A and B are shown apart, each in its own frame.
Chain A
Amino acid sequence: MNPKINSPLDNFEEIFSRNVSGIRAALRGKKIGIAGCGGLGSNLAVNLVRMGADNLVLVDSDKIEPSNLNRQYYFWDQIGSLKAKALEENLKRIHPLITCECHSVRINSSNLQSIFSGCEVVAECFDGAGDKARLVEDLVNKGIPVVAVSGVAGKNSAEAIKIKRPIKNLILIGDDASPDCSEGLISPRVSIAAAHQAWAIMNFLSEGEKNESDR
């Protein structure tokens, strides 16, 4: 379902009239990969679109379940829908003119490069620790910049969630004290990590812009 577009094309830029100057321009047209459209991926995508990102690759093989609604950007009437498609639908309700490339598949080392081909940066938004490590290793190995998350479960203070740059091509968000997700996940901590990811991607792409213009 595509939301109704009934205003002239130019009016959509009004969405960004209260943005910090230059942010929409830094994100416009840049292809950004989102690996996993759960708690992190769905909230991240919303933040990116609100800042002006308009070219996203959304990857998730799962369907929406009731237990997702405690933290993921979906609605009760979307239960049973494929996450990647439902997220595209929700994002287009914010900005109807964005481009989303949806892949309802599981990512592995052999399909990864073709799925994220042309992406300036990929966000790791998986749930399982092993899946996170595997994806980050594969992407960093291929020289693709990654913004990953580790350490958002439990109910510790969200102030502990920080942004670190442990190795080249990796920005890592999380706290060092967080338990595994078996202890449960709450919306504020997951949303804050996703918002940090959005900020880190914006900052990374803005710095790229700056370096381009310095040359």
Chain B
Amino acid sequence: MKVIVNEKEHQLTEKDLHSLFKDLKINPEVVVVEKNGEIIPRKNNCELKDGDRLEIIKFVGGG
């Protein structure tokens, strides 16, 4: 199953958001996630389907 993450195709083994975070070594505390145009609260895990389009915005500190 494939999803699109920040415009790149990504093969999934487990079909949920938190596994994707693990795959991509993403700390859920510092990202904002949009799935198919809707914001997904990153604390809530959610199911992913083939062809889902995700935008994962990662924040770094400094200001």
Contacts and interface: CB of A to CB of B under 8 A. Distances in A.
B49 interface: no
B63 A130 contact: no
Contact of A178 (B39, B57, B62): B62
A36 B62 contact: no
Contact of B61 (A129, A136, A167, A172): A129
B1 to A, nearest CB: 23
Contact of B29 (A133, A153, A181): A133
Contacts of B32: 133, 136-137, 140, 167, 170
B51 to A, nearest CB: 18
A185 B42 CA distance: 28
Contacts of A125: 63
Given A130-B29, A140-B32, A168-B37, A153 B60 contact: yes
A128 interface: yes
A179 B62 CA distance: 9
A130 B55 CA distance: 17
A8 to B, nearest CB: 39
A36 B63 contact: yes
Given A137-B39, A137-B41, A153 B34 contact: no
Nearest to A125: B63
B30 interface: yes
Bin chain A's interface residue count: 35 or more
B59 A136 contact: yes
Interface in A122-165: 125-130, 132-133, 136-137, 140-141, 148-153
A142 to B, nearest CB: 10
A129 B60 contact: yes
A133 B29 CA distance: 7
A49 interface: no
B8 to A, nearest CB: 14
A40 interface: yes
Contacts of A152: 62-63
B60 A167 contact: no
Nearest to A154: B62
A33 interface: no
B31 interface: yes
Interface of A: 36, 38-41, 125-130, 132-133, 136-137, 140-141, 148-153, 166-168, 170, 172, 174, 178-182, 185, 190, 193
Interface of B: 29-32, 34, 37, 39, 41-42, 55, 57-63
Given A129-B60, A167-B39, A181-B61, 9 more contacts: A41-B63, A126-B63, A137-B39, A151-B62, A166-B55, A167-B34, A172-B57, A178-B60, A181-B60
